[in-house]
Amino acid sequence: MADIPFDKRDGYIWFNGELVPWSDAKVHVLTHGMHYASSVFEGCRAYGGEIFKLHEHSQRLVDSARILGFDIPYTVDEIDEACRAELAAQKLEDAYIRPVAWRGSEMMGVSAQKNRINLAVAAWEWPSYFDPEQRKKGIRLDIAGYKRPSPETAPSDAKAAGLYMICTISKHAAEDKGYADALMYDYRGYVAEATGANIFFIKDGVIHTPTPDCFLDGITRRTVIDLAKARGLEVIERHIKPEEMADFSECFITGTAAEVTPVGEIGPYRFTPGEISENLYKDYMALVYAHQDKAKVANG
């Protein structure tokens, strides 16, 4: 399945209020979202048939659109239902769900006030984001050439398609060198995030993570911070200088796709996956599957 192009797959996609055959979910080449990046999206994961933190993802989709100056013509609850309907239509239990909203083709130019706002939701099977063998040792990150932009120059609080262009460039460059991903600094030179995941460091049992003031405060990021605090661990959110990475013992990244993934190397810096990273990974996986345990108890 992984080798099948995404436009050639089978099933259904939820598209502007109805489930349509996968191959019929098309947009015109003169779509504003493609030419001017007036598009926002989410990435959710289903575990055992339940979409983890779905409502938070749907709310962020609506908020991201408003930051870009348009309103999605569906409520957060309706987007939730669209995601569940898509998951059911695809007959999937463990899957990735991609809601995406964009300006259509009614106007073509920078101005697009009259363009229809479209919404689609697709779902598909999702293997491990990183190679399982790499994950055991800790994945290797390059240091990206691009930096996360200032909030004064880009809508950094939105999960906007255009913000990911430099992520794709950076991840491709890292993979070409044999790395799994890349670490991006921010516009001031502080440590920011990986191309699609937030980052955490550990020193003397204390967790340090960059302040998300120019990149997304990820839903998985917040979840893992809560799990760490539940274990009695101290979590410090602050600006982290690149040279400080030499003093940290452990490192891991978090995200819907990455979940909790240990890091063994960032450029010249080395880390050893340890107990804290492993415990938080186990805690996270227990949480995302917790609904199954509740269902078993309810059913006796």
Cβ(87)–Cβ(49) below 8 Å:
yes
Of the residues 26, 53, 136, 159, only one is catalytic, namely 159
Per DSSP, what are the bridge partners of residue 278? none
Q: How far apart are alpha carbons 62 and 216 in whole angstroms?
A: 15
Instruction: In whole angstroms, give the CA distance from residue 238 to residue 297.
Output: 41
Compute CA distances 25 → 22, 220, 266, whole Å: 6, 29, 40
CB atoms closer than 10 angstroms to residue 285: 13
Amino acid at 103: R
Best CA proximity match to 115, nearest among 34, 41, 20: 34
Known catalytic membership, residue 229: no
21 touches 14 (CB < 8 A):
no
Question: If you count them, how many residues does the chain have?
Answer: 300
**Cα separation of 129 and 132, whole Å?**
9
**Annotated active-site positions, please?**
159
